[in-house]
Amino acid sequence: MQDRRVPIGRAAELTRVKVPTIRYHEEIGLLPASSRTASNRRTYGNADLRRLKFVRHARALGFDLDALRQLLALAGLPDEPCEEADEIAAPGSPRWRTRSRASARFARSCRK
């Protein structure tokens, strides 16, 4: 599949993440620095869009930035076991008790 590049405004539309939030995610390292056009405009590829959607979904579930950084690091190790991700997203922990079903779906998605 060809990696299409889209400008930041289109990335915001496709991922339902606001432009300032995308810039913030880049600034704090949740999203790698974007590619730039000759006119210095940010562009984002398919992997960037998937990562933005993942971050948005995890934040909606209540994951804090530290947990999110850990999950993103683990996502880069697809051949490793998922126990550490399971611990971070454990549905039985007090942190996720009110969102147990959504959290369980999220933890299962790590295995895919």
Residue 98 has pLDDT above 50, yes or no: no
In contact, 68 and 52? CB cutoff 8 Å: no
pTM: 0.72
Q: How many residues does the chain have?
A: 112
Q: What percent of the chain has pLDDT over 70?
A: 78
Residue 107: count of CB within 10 angstroms of its CB: 19
Instruction: Tell me what pLDDT residue 71 has.
Output: 83
The SS3 call for residue 50 is helix
Instruction: Tell me what pLDDT residue 109 has.
Output: 66
Q: Report which residue type is found at 21.
A: T
Which is more confidently placed, 47 or 2?
A: 47
The SS3 call for residue 61 is coil
Residue 45 has pLDDT above 80, yes or no: yes
- The average pLDDT across 79-93 equals 70
